[in-house]
Amino acid sequence: MTSKLKLNPNPTFELLVSVPVAGKLENEDVLFTVKHLPQTKLAEMFDDGIVYREFGKEMVTGWDIDAPFNQDNLMILFDNYPQSAFLLFKAYEAEYYKAAGKN
C-alpha cells in the first residue's frame, strides 16, 4: 500500500544548508528545523517586504550547531556568516517548491 498525502503537512521539516566559512575551503553543513507554512502565509510575508534575516527569524525553530537555538544566537549566526540568511532562504525555497521541478 502506498502512503497517502497528508492534507496538512508536518508543521516543521529539516533543512540542510551549506554555509561558507571564511578561511576554510569547505563549507559547514548546518541542519535547521524550519516551519512549514501554507503558500498564502508565505506570500503574505513577502508582500510585507520581509528580508532574508527576518525570514530566518520567522521560520527557524531549531538547529544542530554548538550553541543553543534562540533568536539572539540566530542573529549572531547571520552576523558572523553573512551569506547564511540568504542561503537558508534559497534552501527553503528549493525544498518547498521541489515538487514543481520534478514535473
Residue-by-residue pLDDT tens, the chain, 103 positions: 677 888 999 999 999 999 999 999 999 999 999 999 999 988 888 887 888 999 999 999 999 999 999 999 999 999 999 999 999 999 999 998 885 555 4
The Cα 99–Cα 54 span in angstroms is 25
Nearest CA among 30, 85, 93 for reference residue 62: 30
Give me the amino acid identity at 26: E
Indicate the pTM of the whole model.
Answer: 0.86
Structure confidence at residue 48 (pLDDT): 77
58 CA to centre of own chain = 10
CA–CA dist 10, 7 (Å, integer): 10
Would you state the pLDDT for residue 45?
83
Helix (H, G, I), strand (E, B) or coil at 102: helix
